[in-house]
Amino acid sequence: MQALQKSFRRLYSSLPDAAASARTASTPRAVRLRRLRKRPELAAADSDATVVGSTPTEFARYQRGFAKGELATPDGEELSEAEWLAKLNDRRTRIRGTKVVKREDGTTQTQVVGQKVYLPNVIFRMVRNFTPPGKPYNPYEATFRVSQSVTKTDIRSYLAAVYGVQTTYIRTDNYLSPYKRTYTGWEKKRKEYKRAVVGLVEPFYYPQAIEDMPRVEREKRQKWLEDKFFVNNLKEMRAWELLRMTKKGSKNWHWKKGEDGHYTAQRGNIITAVAAQRAKREQFLLETKERITQFRATGEAIV
């Protein structure tokens, strides 16, 4: 358990350069603008962490503690920034709900506190990261849509326990639905959820969207979806079921016949009827154009 705890520290001081830059880019816009005013020489793709690995917020905390004399050790020396950050990371364990128990022989043991939860009904929906136009996709971030009752600790523990994912930061925001007025009162227009942006230590590349794939890969992907999930069959079954629920069984319902005596409810007959109407329209436009041309040539008034 102790080895597992050590493997799930915040790892701020041991982040890869790309992950540290991704963490800087994911900070709120107001925070980024305030930091850029203090350090205008910082490029957009660089990390704002110090040499030791502290974020600007952590470095400000270290400076305040140093100025107040709160970092003094029992021997009278002051903690350096690296020592203070290491001490801070020791308290930032990824394993929640544990305690250290002292045995009779004097040794210590880490035990899990609380009750295990089996088959949780919390749904984590992973979505594509928001990428501004012209910017590359950030592989050191993952975006989830979760219930509003899920906390950052729950997200961190869930990813660590189920997938073994090491996270560096979690930023959440709630999406509230606007209300619309109906005959019965006020109702929400859409479902509400919480978005969680999770920083990753190891990069994860979200699968490429079908519309962004080359033609050969897109056709291969669509063929795989059809072979595994029968997408086209499901669409046809859904269309027929919708037709059955909305048309058949209603008052004065009957299949409509076309001019040729065939029922127009079939797809082939519908396409044939549409093509015939389109041909009539094109023929009418062509005849009208010829009459207008003749009237102009003879000088007659166009009626």
The ranges assigned to domains in the chain are 2-112, 125-206, 212-246, 256-303
56-68 vs 81-90: helix axis angle to the nearest 10?
A: 110
Per-residue pLDDT, 114: 57
Which of 8-17, 84-93, 245-254 is the most confident on average? 84-93
Would the pLDDT of 261 be above 70? no
Share of the chain above pLDDT 90, in %: 12
Look at 284 and 32; give whichever has higher pLDDT.
284
Per-residue pLDDT, 250: 64
Instruction: Work out the angle at residue 28's Cα, subtended by the Cα atoms of residues 23 and 34, and round it to the nearest 5 degrees.
Output: 100
Q: Are 47 and 60 in contact (CB under 8 A)?
A: no
Q: Residues 6 or more apart from 16 whose CB is under 8 A from it?
A: 140, 201
At the topology level, CATH places domain 125-206 in: Alpha-Beta Plaits (3.30.70)
Question: Strand runs (DSSP E) across the chain, as ranges?
Answer: 98-102, 108-112, 125-127, 141-146, 167-175, 179-182, 185-188, 193-200
35 falls in which pLDDT band (50, 70, 90)?
Answer: confident
Per-residue pLDDT, 67: 87
SS3 108: strand
Q: Which two tokens stand for residue 153?
A: 């600790």
Counting every residue, how long is the chain? 303
139 falls in which pLDDT band (50, 70, 90)?
Answer: confident
Per-residue pLDDT, 9: 47
pTM beyond 0.85: the answer is no
Q: Mean pLDDT in the chain? A: 79
Per-residue pLDDT, averaged over 144-171, amounts to 86
Q: Which of 103, 96, 234 is nearest to 153 (CA)?
A: 96
226 falls in which pLDDT band (50, 70, 90)?
Answer: very high
Q: Which two tokens stand for residue 83?
A: 């020592």
Would the pLDDT of 73 be above 70? yes
Instruction: Work out the angle at residue 147's Cα, subtended by the Cα atoms of residues 225 and 26, and round it to the nearest 5 degrees.
Output: 80
Look at 227 and 25; give whichever has higher pLDDT.
227
Long-range contacts of 132-139 (CB under 8 A, 24+ apart): 137/205, 137/206, 138/22, 138/25, 138/26, 139/18, 139/22, 139/200, 139/203, 139/204, 139/205
262 falls in which pLDDT band (50, 70, 90)?
Answer: low
Q: Are 200 and 166 in contact (CB under 8 A)?
A: yes
Would the pLDDT of 171 be above 70? yes
Per-residue pLDDT, averaged over 173-193, amounts to 85
Would the pLDDT of 235 be above 70? yes
Q: CA-CA distances (angstroms) from residue 201 to 13, 18, 21, 140, 242?
A: 12, 9, 12, 7, 47
Phi, psi dihedrals of residue 185, rounded to the nearest 5°:
140, -150
Per-residue pLDDT, 143: 95
Strand partners, 186: 181
Look up residue 200 and give its amino acid: L
Would the pLDDT of 7 be above 50? no
Per-residue pLDDT, 97: 55
Q: Which two tokens stand for residue 256?
A: 């409509």
6 falls in which pLDDT band (50, 70, 90)?
Answer: very low
Q: Which of 142, 206, 200, 201 is nearest to 172 (CA)?
A: 142
pLDDT for 46-58, tens place per residue?
Answer: 778 888 878 888 8
249 falls in which pLDDT band (50, 70, 90)?
Answer: low
Q: Are 260 and 276 in contact (CB under 8 A)?
A: no
